Amino acid sequence: MNNEKKIYGITATFKTPDEIINAAKKVSNAGYIHFDVNTPYPVHGMDGAMKIKPSKLGFVTLVMGLSGAAIALLLMFWTMSVDYPIVIGGKPFFALPAFIPITFELTVLLATLSTVGAMIALFFRLPDNQHPLHDTEYMKSVSADKYGVVIEAEDVKFDEKSVLDFLKTLNPISTEIVFYPVVEEYPIFQPKFIMFLIAIAIVVSGGTYFSLNKLTIITPFNWMMEQDRVNAQSPSELFADGRGMRTPVEGTVAKGFIPYPYKGQTNPTEVLANPFLPTKENIALGKAKYFTYCTPCHGDFADGDSRLRGQFPNPPTLHSKRARDFSDGMIYHIITNGQNVMPSYASQITRDERWAIVNYVRVLQRAKNASDADLIDMNKEAGSNVAN
């Protein structure tokens, strides 16, 4: 590590723009060339006070802009007139008006990019993260509300004592000697650095070999094809009873099925009321579910004429006086809870569908056991339809 401090320059800080303009004029008139002024915002007239020569950045823009135009024209001339001539609408091979838009675009592109790049990298010499003025009290003040000038040590007239005395004659707020930051050197060829490079080489080489020779040819997700599973309605050696399909745990409630609180009771109809009106849509739903789940035993018209003759005892007809006197809740309870040899249909039919079946059973009962009033109403309705 080099602990010797080297002077970068001497700074002077002022309060007002007029003071910094006056200081810049006196520094330039004194013959100093390598100096700079730092202000929190652009100060009008500073270029003249510092006697700054016009920037050479314009030459970079001019040269690169002309280069862009030349490159564009030469490229289009070579490709469309020499290497692969193309006749387009009878125009000549080198149709200059058609080439102007591309020429203009490439001129602007190269001129702009080169100007910005040269301004940042060459003229401003950025990024310069170790500039000596960084983190100095001088830079903190001139970045806020003060104005300053710095005379650099590389100036041919620079002498520490004479420059310091000269700046004090300008009546600054303060002066400061700025040193170059201490340069810390780290030798590259240290044993730990060499070992680090070797470790990185091993890791990168091993990872590359594994990725290209192993990982890319592995069959993805083959474990999903070979997983242990049980098909529906198939036996299984895992369970003692040999059945692959398991009955639900007692108390399990399927999604969409409300647990029935009157399971096992005889006649809980006092608290069961049909929440659905016998609308056309509800009766149509009840009919569809009745023909799916009820007709195999009860028959199409609830007469008890089972199609499963010899397999189950025929159920009683639903048109008996006892069945007609059942409340809606009682019929719903029998469908949900089951009765005698009839099992519960709570797991196959939802709550709303069961009530719809109740409404359809009432329709069948009324159709076969119509009262005189029903016949009169039916005749009136038939006459009205004929008249219409």
- How far apart, in whole angstroms, are the C-alpha atoms of residue 74 and residue 80? 10
Q: What is the pLDDT of residues 217-275, one digit of tens each?
A: 877 666 666 667 788 888 888 888 888 888 888 877 777 667 777 887 777 766 788 88
Pair 356, 289: CB distance under 8 Å: yes
Q: What is the pLDDT of residues 206-219, one digit of tens each?
A: 999 998 888 888 77
pLDDT score for 256: 67
Q: What is the pTM of this model?
A: 0.42
Instruction: Determine what percent of the chain is predicted with pLDDT higher than 90.
Output: 43
Mark residue 82 as left, alpha or beta (left: phi above 0; alpha: psi -120 to 50; beta: remaining): alpha
- How far apart, in whole angstroms, are the C-alpha atoms of residue 334 and residue 332? 6
Instruction: Kindly indicate the confidence band of residue 121, based on its pLDDT and cuts at 50, 70 and 90.
Output: confident
pLDDT score for 3: 54
What does each C-alpha distance from 293 to 233, 258, 312, 326, 368 come to in angstroms?
21, 20, 15, 20, 21
What is the distance, to the nearest Å, from the Cα of residue 284 to the centroid of all Cα atoms in its chain? Answer: 47
Instruction: Kindly indicate the confidence band of residue 2, based on its pLDDT and cuts at 50, 70 and 90.
Output: very low
Mean pLDDT of 105-121: 94
Mean pLDDT of 120-138: 85
Q: What is the CA radius of gyration of the chain?
A: 50
Determine the straight-line distance between the first and last CA of the chain, rounded to whole angstroms.
113
- Domains of the chain plus CATH, in order, are 7-179 (no CATH), 269-387 (1.10.760.10)
Segment (H or E) for 35: strand 35-38
- How far apart, in whole angstroms, are the C-alpha atoms of residue 85 and residue 76? 10
Whether 17 has a pLDDT exceeding 90, the answer reads yes
- How far apart, in whole angstroms, are the C-alpha atoms of residue 331 and residue 328? 5
Instruction: Determine what percent of the chain is predicted with pLDDT higher than 70.
Output: 91
Task: Provide the sign of the torsion angle of the four alpha carbons 318, 320, 321, 322, taken in this order.
Answer: negative
Instruction: Kindly indicate the confidence band of residue 67, based on its pLDDT and cuts at 50, 70 and 90.
Output: very high
Q: What is the pLDDT of residues 284-337, one digit of tens each?
A: 999 999 999 988 888 888 888 887 776 677 888 888 888 888 888 888 988 988
> Any idea which residue has 């080439």 for tokens?
99
Cis peptide before 132 (omega within 30 of 0): no
Instruction: Kindly indicate the confidence band of residue 88, based on its pLDDT and cuts at 50, 70 and 90.
Output: confident
Mean pLDDT of 340-369: 88
Whether 388 has a pLDDT exceeding 80, the answer reads no
Pair 300, 366: CB distance under 8 Å: no
Q: Which amino acid is at 162?
A: S
Mean pLDDT of 36-41: 94
- How far apart, in whole angstroms, are the C-alpha atoms of residue 118 and residue 218? 51
Whether 135 has a pLDDT exceeding 80, the answer reads yes
Cα-based angle 53, 107, 115 (whole degrees, multiple of 5): 35
- How far apart, in whole angstroms, are the C-alpha atoms of residue 51 and residue 66? 30
- How far apart, in whole angstroms, are the C-alpha atoms of residue 96 and residue 202? 58
Pair 43, 25: CB distance under 8 Å: no
DSSP 65: H
Higher pLDDT, 161 or 239: 161
What is the distance, to the nearest Å, from the Cα of residue 238 to the centroid of all Cα atoms in its chain? Answer: 44
List, in order, residues 6 or more apart from 387 with CB less than 8 Å away: none
DSSP 243: B
> Any idea which residue has 């010899």 for tokens?
310
Mean pLDDT of 177-195: 83
DSSP-based three-state secondary structure for 220: coil
Characterize the bridge pairing of strands 147-152 and 35-38. Answer: antiparallel
Whether 340 has a pLDDT exceeding 80, the answer reads yes
Whether 378 has a pLDDT exceeding 80, the answer reads no
Q: What is the mean pLDDT of the chain?
A: 86
Higher pLDDT, 37 or 370: 37
pLDDT score for 299: 86
pLDDT score for 140: 93
- How far apart, in whole angstroms, are the C-alpha atoms of residue 53 and residue 326? 112
pLDDT score for 1: 44
Mean pLDDT of 125-148: 88
Task: Provide the sign of the torsion angle of the four alpha carbons 346, 351, 352, 357, taken in this order.
Answer: positive
pLDDT score for 251: 76
List, in order, residues 6 or more apart from 336 with CB less than 8 Å away: 260, 262, 263, 344, 345, 346, 354
